[in-house]
């Protein structure tokens, strides 16, 4: 079986490894063009490109797959299957029709909930109890195709965008490996259409969303801190200083303080009054500094220390 893989970020690398270990021939990898990164804004290849080159696989990086030339180049590879994982480019109908078995997508949510670009973070922000990955037969709509296989995982109270990302990345590789094995054995399960109810969209993250509004309930801000770790990282003002807030937990207390004011600060953390409850800040980052625990921060600002 001739297989073409399309993906870009770290999330997709375990799925590329699963393809390579499936017994299929990975004849090419498609990934987005190199982008500027780091302080020097040097052009940097994607994680998938780096993995492909290390494995000796041909890499294609078109700006789009809409042109006849790009589509002809893909067709010339004669793929039996195209596997797409966080590729970042839209696949036109003509591309979907090229492989003999069509195109598969590994998506990091339990569809139809959280179609779109940022399903991992949106699930945490919404307080979902579980997430998962779906292996989907692609069609023209945005994440609307029927489901072939699925894996589920609970979202723990201490899960961050980073920890859930890593777990779903591994689950995605598992479900893809099973799908490829069953395809080779001609034992694929029937594709199950997505439900019409429960459709939600996971819109792309915006840095502006990282700002904490202490008028809101503390539990919502806790989810915001967790979801935006490691990017874009939540930000909030504490006693007049804007900080990046890396870790925090909601405290269910009744208070009469003004939202945003510090009501306690010590070894346990800095408790900031919210519209409902308080947010206990545990790890912060000052402008130009690095991530530090709250005690290190209080050592620099001893005037904030106060008992509850």
For residue 206, cis peptide bond before it (omega within 30 degrees of 0): no
| Sequence ranges of the binding site | 109-112
Sign, CA dihedral 237-238-244-246, equals negative
246: left (phi over 0), alpha (psi -120 to 50) or beta: alpha
Whole-angstrom distance, CA of residue 239 vs CA of residue 186: 63
Residue 134 in 3-state DSSP? strand
Concatenate the DSSP letters of all residues of 148-204 into one string: EEEEEEE--TT--HHHHHHHHHHHHHHHHHHHHHHHHTT-PPPPBPPPSSS--EEPP
H and E: helices and strands count for the chain: 8, 17
| Sequence ranges of the binding site for (6S)-5,6,7,8-tetrahydrofolate | 109-112
Whether residue 156 contacts residue 130, with contact meaning beta carbons closer than 8 Å, is answered with no
Shortest CA distance to 79 belongs to which of 137, 29, 22? 29
Whole-angstrom distance, CA of residue 259 vs CA of residue 272: 7
């Amino acid at each position: 079986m001739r297989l073409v893989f399309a993906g870009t970020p770290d999330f997709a690398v375990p799925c590329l490894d699963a393809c390579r270990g499936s017994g299929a021939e990975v004849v090419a990898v498609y990934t987005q063009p190199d982008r500027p990164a780091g302080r020097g804004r040097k052009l940097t290849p994607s994680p998938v490109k780096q993995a492909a080159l290390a494995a000796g696989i041909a890499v294609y990086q078109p700006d789009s797959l809409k042109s006849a030339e790009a589509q002809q180049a893909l067709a010339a590879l004669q793929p039996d299957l195209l596997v797409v994982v966080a590729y970042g480019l839209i696949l036109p109908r003509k591309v979907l029709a090229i492989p003999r078995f069509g195109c598969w997508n590994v998506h990091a949510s339990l569809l139809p909930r959280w179609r779109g670009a940022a399903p991992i973070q949106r699930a945490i922000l919404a307080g979902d109890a579980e997430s998962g990955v779906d292996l989907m037969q692609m069609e023209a709509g945005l994440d609307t195709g029927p489901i072939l296989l699925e894996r589920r995982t609970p979202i723990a109270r201490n899960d961050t965008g980073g920890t859930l990302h890593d777990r779903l990345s591994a689950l995605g590789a598992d479900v893809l490996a099973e799908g490829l094995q069953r395809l080779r054995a001609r034992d694929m399960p029937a594709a199950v259409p997505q439900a019409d109810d429960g459709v939600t969209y996971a819109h792309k993250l915006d840095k502006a969303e990282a700002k904490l509004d202490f008028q809101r309930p503390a539990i919502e801000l806790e989810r915001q801190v967790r979801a935006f770790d490691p990017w874009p990282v939540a930000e909030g003002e504490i006693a007049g200083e804007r900080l990046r807030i890396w870790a925090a937990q909601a405290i269910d207390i009744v208070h009469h303080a003004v939202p945003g004011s510090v009501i306690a600060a010590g070894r346990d953390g800095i408790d900031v009054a919210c519209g409902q409850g308080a947010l206990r800040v545990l790890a912060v980052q000052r402008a130009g500094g690095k991530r530090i625990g709250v005690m290190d921060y209080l050592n620099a600002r001893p005037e904030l220390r106060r008992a509850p």
